[in-house]
């Protein structure tokens, strides 16, 4: 196993984590109790970017190479900007933790793709197998980042005006 196969799984897994967080932020902005037209519009954009990140991460992992690098850079930047804009439009019901985690993960994706664009590596390469250890390590770190961010996103959407979060019971299920 060389360093390239160890690191290559990180952008795809980071895209999955960012995609989950962006989709959660977007869904919360769409259905939140105090959502207006601006937050719903931003939410729809975040959901689209989140789903796109999930698809991109799967394609990168399946193909073994970074795809659509310029579009990916635009998508990563758009994700960071839309999430930041949501913080200003709907501050009481948007999680700072989720936005920070999504931005961190999108920066990882953007840095990997920017390196690819900078190299202008247009020659087709043979797809080498991904490193299982790199993938497991990346997935573990992403889980540690994404899980709390998703929980914080739910709490931010459900928070009441008095600052309390309702307890949801699942009796009878």
pLDDT of residue 30: 93
Q: Where are the domains of the chain?
A: 9-158
Residue 8 phi, psi dihedral angles, 5° rounding: -65, -25
In the predicted model, is pLDDT for residue 66 greater than 60?
Answer: yes
pLDDT in tens, 32-56: 878 899 999 999 999 999 999 999 9
Mean pLDDT, to the nearest integer, of 96-115? 93
Q: Which long-range contacts (CB under 8 A, 24 or more apart) does 59-62 make?
A: 60/11, 60/12, 60/15, 61/9, 61/12, 61/13, 61/130
Q: What is the pTM of this model?
A: 0.84
CA angle 90, 18, 59 (to 5 degrees): 140
Which pLDDT value is given to residue 124?
52
pLDDT at residue 109 above 60? yes
Range list of H helices, the chain: 3-7, 9-31, 37-63, 69-89, 96-119, 132-158
pLDDT digits (tens, 9 = 90+) for 130-153: 677 777 887 888 889 898 898 888
Query: Does 1 have pLDDT greater than 70?
Result: no
């Amino acid at each position: 196993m060389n360093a390239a196969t160890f690191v290559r799984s990180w952008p795809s897994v980071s895209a999955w984590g960012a995609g989950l967080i962006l989709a959660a932020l977007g869904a919360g902005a769409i259905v939140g109790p105090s959502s207006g037209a601006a937050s719903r519009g931003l939410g729809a954009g975040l959901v689209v970017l989140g789903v796109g990140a999930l698809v991109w991460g799967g394609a990168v992992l399946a193909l073994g190479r970074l795809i659509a690098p310029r579009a990916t850079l635009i998508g990563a930047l758009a994700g960071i900007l839309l999430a930041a804009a949501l913080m200003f439009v709907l501050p009481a019901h948007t999680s700072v933790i989720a936005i920070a985690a999504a931005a961190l993960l999108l920066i990882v994706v953007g840095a990997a793709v920017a390196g690819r664009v900078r190299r202008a590596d247009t020659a087709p390469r043979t797809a080498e197998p991904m490193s299982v250890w790199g993938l497991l390590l990346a997935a573990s770190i992403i889980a540690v980042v994404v899980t709390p961010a998703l929980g914080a996103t739910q709490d931010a959407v459900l928070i009441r005006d008095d600052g309390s979060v309702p307890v949801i019971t699942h009796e009878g299920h």
